[in-house]
């Protein structure tokens, strides 16, 4: 049985998925694990879907999580978590930002955004943290820290990584002038 832990983060371009995956990877590295990452971000700058995989353990052979393997799934907006739900393992933790971002396909009239997205999430995921990370980040002074608020929430599902490792990872990964904001954002999410 593999000792590798898999994390999947999903959202749309501009929400900070890549920074969030970097912070997870740094926290795992600081904790002494081998780490591999991968991200897919086609059309990300135009509001397209972005997904990042972070895998860590004693020895990691692939950066890609298989479906049914992710211990935690983070969705920076509601539909992203549903789109990648198949990656979550049984009993895994899902943390979702309640923010609604209309996908390009919907804005082009090629699809519909589910009006009952929150209900779909609650029906789909047994272990769900559904938070308004964007509003929490706005209260801290910068809505762009919503990704780190969400990381704080999903960190509760990654008990191999200490809070100290997470905070050090935030310090390493963000620009110096944003360290204090992101530390507060992480702690806010972790306390939810």
Nearest to 13 by CA among 91, 138, 99, 103: 103
Which tens digits make up the pLDDT trace of 37-93? 998 766 555 567 889 999 999 999 999 999 999 999 999 999 889 999 999 999 999
Q: Where are the domains of the chain?
A: 4-191
4-191 CATH, one of 3.40.1360.10, 3.40.920.10, 3.30.70.2500, 3.30.1540.10: 3.40.920.10
Which residue's structure tokens are 């519909």?
Answer: 112
Distance CA 8, CA 148 (A): 15
Phi-psi region of 149 (alpha: psi -120 to 50; beta: other; left: phi over 0): alpha
Q: Calculate the CA 171 to chain-centre distance.
A: 18
Which tens digits make up the pLDDT trace of 153-183? 999 999 999 999 999 999 999 999 999 999 9
Measuring CA to CA, how many Å separate 77 from each of 19, 28, 134? 16, 24, 10
Whole-model pTM above 0.85? Answer: yes
């Amino acid at each position: 049985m593999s000792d590798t832990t898999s994390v999947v983060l999903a959202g749309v371009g501009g929400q900070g998925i890549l920074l969030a995956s970097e912070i997870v990877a740094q926290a795992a590295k600081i904790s002494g694990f081998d780490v591999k990452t991968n991200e897919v971000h086609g059309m990300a700058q135009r509001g397209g879907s972005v997904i990042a995989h972070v895998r860590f353990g004693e020895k990691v052979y692939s950066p890609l999580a298989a479906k049914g393997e992710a211990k935690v799934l983070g969705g920076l907006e509601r539909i992203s978590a549903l789109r990648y739900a198949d990656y979550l393992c049984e009993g895994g933790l899902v943390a979702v930002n309640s923010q609604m971002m209309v996908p390009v396909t919907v804005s082009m009239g090629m699809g519909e955004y589910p009006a009952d997205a929150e209900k779909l999430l609650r029906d789909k995921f047994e272990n769900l943290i559904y938070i308004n990370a964007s509003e929490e980040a706005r209260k801290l002074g910068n809505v762009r820290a919503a990704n780190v608020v969400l990381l704080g929430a999903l960190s509760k599902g990654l008990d191999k990584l200490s809070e100290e490792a997470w905070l050090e990872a935030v310090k390493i990964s963000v620009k110096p002038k944003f360290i204090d904001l992101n530390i507060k954002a992480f702690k806010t999410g972790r306390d939810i």
